Amino acid sequence: MLVFITDDYTELSREAARMIANAIRKKPDLRVGLATGDTQRGMYRELIRMHREERLDFSRVVTFNLDEYIGLPAGHPQSFRSAMHKALFDHVNITASQIHIPGGTARDNFVEICDRYEEEIRRAGGIDLQVVGIGKDGHIGFNEPTSSLASRTRPKTLTQQTVEDNRHNFPPGQEPPATAITMGIGTILEARRILMLASGAAKAKAVALAVEGPVTASVSASALQMHRDVTVLVDREAAENLQHKDYYRKSLEMTRKLTPNRLW
Ligand code: F6R
């Protein structure tokens, strides 16, 4: 894992956008996996700026979102689909056929929907670069603690902690969904590169467990230790509990000198 510690959220957002933009410039038909949390908002704002001011071109990019709530009607303002349109898709040159978000209603056959999503990823040639956030409980996607490290796209029950964490995005009186469809940990690990973002003190414990703790289904993000090409981009607050910060800084310097193509 390459751990990259930034001073603050602004720098984190700029770095994340720069990494994605470089990947798109290298491979204009990049298959990119996206996350919908608050953490990525700054990164999406910066990508929009790059599209407007630096002609970053999304015309051949294909996106696969990690997850979507179950039970919200199509077009619901709090759905991840709506959030993604507002945060990014409506502001860059990407069309509906390039965008993939898992989804369904209570009447649908979820096994079919999830298998179809996996098939769409396969047919597209797999995901080149997967962006993930991390929950306070160490989840990636909505793979809550005890999710199988080999799991595939499926419906998942959210922990009460995650439901509470999501509440601020919903108007008062509206209960956040308790279930979601999410790519599995096995699905995420098949991406060629993974970029995990974390910002703020509330994520410090989960980040330390994910990066320096044992690989365990109790902390889904720890499964990223098994992947050969992961960059963990964290701001100073989220990095607070990491034991080996000096080593990560030195290691990044060494990588810049010896294997710059490992960087973005
Ligand atoms: C969202 C997702 C989640 C979030 C995580 C952190 O698509 O997959 O794993 O990345 O819950 O959310 P924020 O960034 O809102 O703290």
Instruction: Supply the pLDDT for residue 262.
Output: 77
Instruction: List strand residue ranges (DSSP E) for 21-158, in order.
Output: 31-34, 62-65, 67-69, 99-100, 129-132, 154-157
Atom number in ligand 1 closest to CA 202: 16
Instruction: Supply the pLDDT for residue 49.
Output: 98
Name 128's bridge partners: none
The series of mean pLDDT values per 10 residues for the chain, 264 residues long, is 97 97 97 97 98 98 97 90 97 98 81 96 98 98 98 97 95 94 98 98 98 98 98 98 97 91 78
Look up the pTM and report it: 0.97
The residues that are catalytic are 67, 137, 139, 144
Instruction: Supply the pLDDT for residue 103.
Output: 86
Ligand 1: lining residues by beta carbon, under 6 Å: 35-39, 66-67, 133-135, 139-142
Residue with tokens 């690989």: 215
What is the CA(88)–ligand 1 centre distance, in A?
A: 16
Q: Which pair of tokens denotes residue 165?
A: 């964490």
What is the CA(254)–ligand 1 centre distance, in A?
A: 31
Atom number in ligand 1 closest to CA 67: 7
- What is the DSSP track for 115-128? HHHHHHHHHTT--S
What is the CA(57)–ligand 1 centre distance, in A?
A: 26
